[in-house]
Amino acid sequence: MNDMQRQALLIEAHTLIEEQAERTAAGLCGQGGLDLDYPPGGEWTDGESAALERLSEIDDPHLESALRKAASDAAAAVLVRLFDLIDGAQSPAGYRGEWGVFSFTEAQEAHAAGGQLHDEFFETYREWRRHRGRSPSRSGDRDDE
């Protein structure tokens, strides 16, 4: 990845964070739907839907701004951690092998270096769930299959 591509990727990441945070905040404030892409196959429970409905009834001009900031911060924190992993500044929790510094290179063919990360991300969800275990703070999760 050259410097121009790297800058374009990072600027696009900021744009995507902003756009998703705006959609999420607007959805939470009752200005459009709030569909879930993650977790795969996830749906709002009846209780969660009712809570979101009550949230959308709050008439406070600062609520949408606060939710947008919270969503932006959450998304950015994930990307920063991912970049730490790629840069070799940190290794994945529980990883037992040697962890190095990684870089993106242009593949000669569409799948020359293996699968595509955007597909593999969702494909590895169930495996992550098996390794994660249960947490008391997640007792409301519905995807515990």
Q: Read off the pTM.
A: 0.78
pLDDT at 111: 59
Contacts for 41 with CB less than 8 Å, ≥ 6 apart? 143
pLDDT at 6: 87
Q: Which long-range contacts (CB under 8 A, 24 or more apart) does 21-27 make?
A: 21/68, 21/69, 21/71, 21/72, 21/75, 22/68, 24/67, 24/68, 24/71, 25/64, 25/65, 25/67, 25/68, 25/71, 26/64
**Residue ranges of the domains in the chain?**
1-92
pLDDT at 101: 93
Mean pLDDT by 10 residues, the chain (145 residues): 88 94 90 84 90 89 93 95 93 91 77 71 84 58 46
- DSSP label of 82: H
